[in-house]
Structure 1
Amino acid sequence: MAIPLRSDFDASQLGAVARKTRNAPQARRLLALAAIYEGASRTAAARIGGVTLQIVRDWVLKFNAQGPDGLIDCKPPGQPSRLTDAHRSALAAMIESGPFPAVHGVVRWRLVDLIQWLWDEHRVPISKQTLSREVRALGYRKLSARPRHHAKSEAAVAVFKIYGPAVRCKRAVSGWMRDGSHQSIRPQYGA
């Protein structure tokens, strides 16, 4: 047996709401339900909506419970956070105080160290990605040293540096800037 639609709406009201909305999926769903109000079968409404009968049934349930707003797509809530406010405040205090090498065995906090600390102290299992998101939400950022190549030679870098004013002055005096040949794509030899 088909689930009946709400009695406080009719086809013309749903059509008016569908015309006013800027949400195309909601308008499609409303028009499919308006067809049911006009006496069309659920199969015909599924064809209008471009979906299966089960989805039309879901739309009817949402519409009956929440009205036209129930047919708007919304982001699902997802899993609740594993960290409570008490966990977050303890985590913030631990980050602020910094690790003690003798106690924690590290000289700076990494995410994996904080994950281990949360497990040891509070028995909270948490992933690296989730902890990263939580730490960023607390207002902390990852700091890392600028990477340096082990074989970098400062002398070789100094040879290739271009020092601004001296080089610009030398180029301004040369002829290639005065005669306009610097604007051509191909170099002109012997000119």
Structure 2
Amino acid sequence: MAQARRLLALAAIYDGCTRSEAARLGHVTRQIVRDWVIRFNAEGPDGLRDRKASGPTPRLTDVHRQALATQIDHGPNPAVHGVVQWRLCDLRQWLWEEFRVLVSRQTLSRVVRAMGYHRLSARPSGEAKPAECGAASGKGTKSSSIPLPMRGRRDIWRHP
């Protein structure tokens, strides 16, 4: 649809209309018509198709991701890093100290999951309780499926 509108505006120019008239036909400004002409001349009709925006460049390069994977695999050194298990906040701090790259916790979580690592809880969830715990308290199996609260939970990252 958009490509047809652009081709119609360019056809009007080819037929002798001014760029202002072609812009009115395409419901755009003359600058945009100029850009369409340049794209059409360079790439033909395919140059007028909608394109996906490139978006911002990722903050973490392949080098950063490789180093991050190495750090996760080897685990932290308590004497150097001050922690015994990696958490996202610790990995963010390490990235900043090592590469001066600042990423949000959410972005780092997405990157780590995309690399194939999964968060494991250091505390058992409610489903991990033995079956006799629910029976001894008089509660059914439904109550034993409720996980423990998130407070105080630690992140441990492992490769599947």
Same fold per superposition (TM over 0.5): yes
Deviation, structure 1 residue 97:
1.6
| Equivalent of 1:63 in 28, 40, 43 | 40
Whether 2:131 is the aligned partner of 1:161: answer no
Letter matched to residue 47 of structure 1:
R
Aligned residue for 2:119, secondary structure, equals coil
Question: In the TM superposition, what are the counterparts of 1:56-95 in structure 2 within 5 Å?
Answer: 56-95=33-72
Deviation, structure 1 residue 160:
5.7
Corresponding residue for 1:169?
none
| Equivalent of 2:6 in 12, 29, 48 | 29
What percentage of aligned pairs have identical amino acids?
62
Partners of 2:116 and 2:141 lie apart in 1 by: 40
Question: In the TM superposition, what are the counterparts of 1:1-191 in structure 2 within 5 Å?
Answer: 24-144=1-121, 146=125, 159=138, 161=140
Q: CA RMSD in A?
A: 2.9
Letter matched to residue 30 of structure 1:
L
Question: Which stretches in structure 2 are left out of the alignment for 5+ residues?
Answer: 127-132, 143-160
Aligned residue for 1:142, secondary structure, equals strand
Deviation, structure 1 residue 122:
2.4
Partners of 1:125 and 1:87 lie apart in 2 by: 12
Letter matched to residue 101 of structure 1:
P
Deviation, structure 1 residue 72:
1.4
What do residues 154-177 of structure 1 show as CA deviations (whole Å, max 9, x unaligned)?
A: 77xx656389xxxxxxxxxxxxxx
Partners of 1:129 and 1:160 lie apart in 2 by: 37
Aligned residue for 2:118, secondary structure, equals coil
- TM-score of the pair, normalised by structure 1: 0.58
Aligned residues: 135
- Name the CA shift for 1:132/1:45 in 2 (closer, same or farther; >3 Å): same
Deviation, structure 1 residue 94:
0.8
Deviation, structure 1 residue 92:
0.3
- TM-score of the pair, normalised by structure 2: 0.68
Deviation, structure 1 residue 106:
2.2
Question: If you compute each CA radius of gyration, which structure gives the higher value, 1 or 2?
Answer: 1
What do residues 47-70 of structure 1 show as CA deviations (whole Å, max 9, x unaligned)?
A: 221222222122112222222122
Q: Which has the higher contact order (CA 8 A, sep 6+)?
A: 2
Instruction: Flag the structure with higher strand content.
Output: 2
Corresponding residue for 1:16?
none
Aligned residue for 1:55, secondary structure, equals helix
